[in-house]
């Protein structure tokens, strides 16, 4: 298997359109993690993503009759841009089917390179099914974004560059994983020439299809796929890519959205470049690997796979980066309702920076405050230390740092309790963000019970996130789950959430 890929990788004509990208040392991150951290800068490709390599290599292998039929692909954006540029270079018609949740910057970029764009479905797999329908109807040649030998070989040229550019000690390469084309190509080349180097895949925890497949020894289809890291929002690892990964990938790490946001900040701090969520997976994986295995003095390389991110999504990324790095604690604190309480509380915190302070009158005796506090990155200044310090000084403290309801909604809703609402139950929802999505959500939700509380905030993320209070009589509570299932959006019950109970319930 490996010999077949080595030959194809060495013969891949990717440099007709791609460039050899540099490897940067992440000086700040290296010092902090006490390892040498390297970043392979695929965000510097002409289409700001590694995908141009595989797309061009696949199209270059087409016969003249196949080129005349035109090409089509389903893509969340990066493969689309790569294929559009490859087709333009070779004078071939290109049609791209993209999920409706694809960032606008990627849609515009594909159109600018001369391809026809069709928006269909909420995630990659729906776009894929529609593209296959068009293949049957129009005779296009389908160019798969990852599950093709020539596409995999094109991506494998990254590994060829890595081993040529860095001939010294290299302990592990951390590779973002969606459908598996990138990691399969890198693993095939590296394991043939330098089998001692670990190949470690990194997946977003809400689209970890390779991790799921390796656990059971066969490809599985995820029931749900998170689209925050839209470049890797794939429900099933590729058939050909899994054959390679099964034998030549050493480990797979999953990371959270907050950890991805923190990695984006780390990459910016060291390179002054901004990558997309999928592009930061490698660095997020490096950090988690070092934390879990307590390694020191190793040389670890992460693939920065792309930089196609909507500008308005950076607001959300910035908000969550501090939490992902554990540099901020979110806490609820009860203080006496009397003059001087605020000042006394601030003195109790000492010289730590307060990032957020929300207050609402509760009773004549006490008040609840919602506080964000910078914790720093040293091991001696974490949230637990702050909480213990406040408790010793007599304050009642609830840690909300990992509370999604608190981070997404309550911090914007601190308005006090009400006695005018009874039978309230609270749910948190997520739905794919697009024009008109909120109205459609309300039309579905408001058909049965009165809405007593509602919070929605559009911050440029791929999700619409809503906190809802419904007035449901006790004898109808059992009907709520079935009703919400019919709506079809992800939801979480939050009535017992301490953040709700403390500030709104």
Catalytic hit among 198, 305, 407, 452: 305
Looking from the CA of 505 toward its CB, the CA atoms found within 13 Å total 12
- pLDDT score for 458: 65
- Are both 458 and 485 inside the same structural domain? yes
- pLDDT score for 275: 94
The answer to whether 311 and 289 have CB atoms below 8 angstroms apart is no
User: Is residue 429 a part of any domain in this protein?
Assistant: yes
Number of domains in the chain: 4
The answer to whether 381 and 325 have CB atoms below 8 angstroms apart is no
Planar angle of CA 399, 401, 403, nearest 5 degrees:
90
Q: What is the overall mean pLDDT for the chain?
A: 89
Catalytic hit among 8, 40, 49, 51: 51
CATH, residue 373: 3.30.70.260
The answer to whether 266 and 318 have CB atoms below 8 angstroms apart is no
Q: In what order do the strands lie in the sheet with 251-255?
A: 23-25, 36-41, 299-304, 172-176, 198-204, 251-255
What tokens were used for 101?
Answer: 């949740």
Residue 423 CB coordination number (10 Å): 15
Among the candidates 373, 402, 431, a domain finishes at 402
- Are both 349 and 382 inside the same structural domain? yes
User: Is residue 227 a part of any domain in this protein?
Assistant: yes
Residue 226 scores a pLDDT above 70: yes
User: Is residue 483 a part of any domain in this protein?
Assistant: yes
Among the candidates 356, 375, 402, a domain finishes at 402
- Are both 19 and 94 inside the same structural domain? no
CA 77 distance to own-chain centroid: 14
- pLDDT score for 435: 57
- Are both 81 and 188 inside the same structural domain? no
Task: Give residue-wise pLDDT tens across range 458-485.
Answer: 655 556 788 888 889 999 998 888 888 8
With the CA atoms of 351, 356, 362 and 364 taken in that order, what torsion angle do they form, in degrees rounded to the nearest 10? 30
Q: Which of 35-44, 118-127, 225-234, 426-435 is the least confident region?
A: 426-435
Expressed as residue numbers, the domain containing 104 is: 52-142
Can 305 be counted among the known catalytic residues?
yes
- Are both 161 and 118 inside the same structural domain? no
The residues near 186 (Cβ < 8 Å, ≥ 6 apart) are: 155, 156, 158, 159, 162, 173, 175, 199, 303
- Are both 342 and 441 inside the same structural domain? no
Q: Predicted confidence band at 379 (pLDDT cuts at 50, 70, 90)?
A: very low
CA–CA gap between residue 77 and residue 501 (Å, rounded)? 42
Q: Predicted confidence band at 350 (pLDDT cuts at 50, 70, 90)?
A: confident
- Are both 35 and 56 inside the same structural domain? no
Q: Which of 5-14, 73-82, 164-173, 180-189 is the least confident region?
A: 73-82
CATH, residue 218: 3.40.50.1100
Can 51 be counted among the known catalytic residues?
yes
- Are both 211 and 185 inside the same structural domain? yes
Q: pTM of the prediction?
A: 0.81
CA–CA gap between residue 455 and residue 467 (Å, rounded)? 5
- pLDDT score for 376: 67
**165 burial type by CB count under 10 A (0-12 exposed, 13-18 middle, 19+ buried):** middle
Q: Which residues pair with 199 in a beta bridge?
A: 173
Q: Predicted confidence band at 11 (pLDDT cuts at 50, 70, 90)?
A: very high
CA–CA gap between residue 198 and residue 54 (Å, rounded)? 23
- Are both 120 and 30 inside the same structural domain? no
User: Is residue 91 a part of any domain in this protein?
Assistant: yes
The residues near 191 (Cβ < 8 Å, ≥ 6 apart) are: 2, 197, 199, 248
Nearest CA-CA partner of 451 in 490, 423, 410, 482: 423
How large is the average pLDDT for residues 342-367?
Answer: 78
- Are both 155 and 296 inside the same structural domain? yes
How large a percentage of the chain has pLDDT more than 70? 93
């Amino acid at each position: 298997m490996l010999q077949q890929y080595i030959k194809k990788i060495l013969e891949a004509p990717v440099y007709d359109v791609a460039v050899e990208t540099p490897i940067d040392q992440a000086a700040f991150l290296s010092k902090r993690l006490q390892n040498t951290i390297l970043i392979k800068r695929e965000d510097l490709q002409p289409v700001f993503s590694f995908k141009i390599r595989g797309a061009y290599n696949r199209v270059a292998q087409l016969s003249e009759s196949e080129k005349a039929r035109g090409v089509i692909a389903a893509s969340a954006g990066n493969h689309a841009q790569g294929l559009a540029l490859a087709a333009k270079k070779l004078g071939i018609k290109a049609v791209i089917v993209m999920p409706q949740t694809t960032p606008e910057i990627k849609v515009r970029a594909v159109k600018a390179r001369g391809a026809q764009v069709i928006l269909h479905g909420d995630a990659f797999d729906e776009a894929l099914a529609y593209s296959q329908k068009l293949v049957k109807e129009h005779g296009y040649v389908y160019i798969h974004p990852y599950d093709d030998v020539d596409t995999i070989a094109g991506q494998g040229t990254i590994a060829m560059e890595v081993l040529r550019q860095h001939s010294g000690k290299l302990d592990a390469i951390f590779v973002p994983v969606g459908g598996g084309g990138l990691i399969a190509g890198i693993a095939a080349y590296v394991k043939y020439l330098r089998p001692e180097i670990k190949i470690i895949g990194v997946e977003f925890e809400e689209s970890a299809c390779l991790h799921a497949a390796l656990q059971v020894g066969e490809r599985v289809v995820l029931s749900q796929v998170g689209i925050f890291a839209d470049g890797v929002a794939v429900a099933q690892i590729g058939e050909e890519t899994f054959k390679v990964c099964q034998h030549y990938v050493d480990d797979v790490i999953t990371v959270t959205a907050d950890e991805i946001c923190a990695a984006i900040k780390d990459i910016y701090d060291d390179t002054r470049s901004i990558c997309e969520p999928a592009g930061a997976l490698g660095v997020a994986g490096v950090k988690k690997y070092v934390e879990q295995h307590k390694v020191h003095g190793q040389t670890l390389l992460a693939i920065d796979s792309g930089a196609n991110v909507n500008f308005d999504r950076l607001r959300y990324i910035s908000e969550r980066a501090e939490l992902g790095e554990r540099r901020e604690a979110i806490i609820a604190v009860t203080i006496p309702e009397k003059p001087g309480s605020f000042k006394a509380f601030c003195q109790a915190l000492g010289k730590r920076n307060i990032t957020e302070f929300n207050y609402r009158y509760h009773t004549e005796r006490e008040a609840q405050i919602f506080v964000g506090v910078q914790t720093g990155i040293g091991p001696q200044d974490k949230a637990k230390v702050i909480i213990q310090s406040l408790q010793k000084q007599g304050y009642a403290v609830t840690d909300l740092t990992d509370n999604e309801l608190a981070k997404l909604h309550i911090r914007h809703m601190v308005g006090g309790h009400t006695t005018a609402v009874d039978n309230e139950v609270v749910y948190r929802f997520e739905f794919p963000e697009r024009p008109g999505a909120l109205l459609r959500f309300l039309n579905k939700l408001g058909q049965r019970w009165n809405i007593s509380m509602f919070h929605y905030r559009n911050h440029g993320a791929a999700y619409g996130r809503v906190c809802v209070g419904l007035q449901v009589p006790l004898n109808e509570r059992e009907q709520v789950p079935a009703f919400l299932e019919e709506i079809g959006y992800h939801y979480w019950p939050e009535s017992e959430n301490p953040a709700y109970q403390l500030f709104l319930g």
